[in-house]
Amino acid sequence: MTDKNAIIDRFIRYARVNSQSDNGSSSCPSSTGQIELARLILEDLAEIGCTEISLDRNGYIMASIPSNVNKVVPVIGFIAHLDTSPDFSGKNVNPRVIENYDGSDIPLDPEGQIMLRPSEFPELLNYTGQDLIVTDGKTLLGADDKAGVTEIIEAIKFLNLNPDIPHGKIKIGFTPDEEIGRGADRFDVKKFGADFAYTMDGGAIGELEFENFNAASVVVSIQGRNVHPGTAKDKMINALQIAADLHNMLPSNERPENTEGYEGFFHLSRIEGTVDKARMDYIIRDHDFARFTERKNILAEIVAGFNTRYPAGTVKAAARDQYYNMKEKIMPVYQIIDLAAAAIRQAGIEPVIIPIRGGTDGSKLSYMGLPTPNLFTGGHNFHGRFEFIPAQSMEKAVEVIINIVRIAAS
């Protein structure tokens, strides 16, 4: 049996390291905290008996454990990311454990001003009687993806302590900057040497995912003309007003808060500016590639329209594709989904095969030649103060990793 307390202790130790990525940095990794965490993990990989351990100058960790069977079996990789979201504080993370959760409201901060309530997050009631790791209400928790890192390391530790469990060669990879869309950019697939892999980067227990959004980022820049409002008639060009008008031309029912499942969206993630100049940051998402392309065209046509109403070049849009739906690369090797589903069932869980409403390193890796679907870590409410993860879900994730390599070798 895996050691629940060891899993909790390792996760909390990693969670306390501030490894937020930085979208404003051009370095790789984008923050020094990721290197701090990487060096801690290197020590742990050596301690649990890994071989071929490396940390490259870009912050990518790789390690192996050799096969213990005398036949050819697939080389399987397990991958997680080091960074946490830059969108909510990851500094001074102070996790605590709610043992034997009783289904009541959980006060996150000492004053009880911030509450994690089942009335707002009903999934909490699925975990009554379990041990929940929560925040102190001031930071994110970092289960995305330090839970994945923890689960991979604990599974490898268990396998090395139990050499009677058959397995082929296993590859381990930890990447930087996944949260800012760069996690697989400098991943050396050839060096990694796996036939296929799984990212441990999903949500609730049982999730298995091989479809994700096609994704693009768009920066809209608006150049206004600031004139005293008392003499502004026919002279002022209010960049903020253009920003508001532009956003209101996008369909309001196609925003993240109004969509689910396979429904795509336009998401205004940041807006700043003055009358003279404004900037809007959008992300565009859709599982269907044709609809994804159409969404980019819709925004481009809106921008073009403003440049006919105002001087040419008043509004500019710079779009960048970020990643694509990995389904195209996974379907030809669907047996790796069947393998994961069997491993989940052997852990006593029914697989929940759903599309990812987001991205994953596995998308880019799949297009780089390493098919990489996504497995659950057990976490909920990622990227904010209401994040939590049941320790028992993490135990099951460890068990699934072990089952995958054992089934593949049998």
Contact yes or no for 178/31 (Cβ under 8 A): no
Q: Is residue 22 flagged as an active site residue?
A: no
- Least Cα distance to 145 among 327, 336, 351, 383 occurs for 383
Which amino acid, residue 2? T
Contact yes or no for 98/106 (Cβ under 8 A): yes
Rounded Cα distance, 299 and 32, in Å? 36
* Catalytic one of 131, 145, 154, 178: 178
374-376 sheet: strands from edge to edge: 51-55, 61-65, 170-175, 76-81, 196-202, 374-376, 207-209, 352-353
* Catalytic one of 22, 83, 209, 387: 83
Separation of CA 28 from chain center: 18
Residues 6+ apart with CB under 8 A from 130: 100, 101, 390, 391, 392, 393
Contact yes or no for 156/398 (Cβ under 8 A): no
Helices (H), 18-102: 32-47
Q: Is residue 178 flagged as an active site residue?
A: yes
Contact yes or no for 322/281 (Cβ under 8 A): no
Scanning the structure block, which residue is given the tokens 């296929």?
A: 196
SS (H, E, C) 295-332: HHHHHHHHHHHHHHHCCCCCEEEEEEEEECCCHHHHHH
Beta bridge partners of 79: 173, 199
Catalytic residues: 83, 178
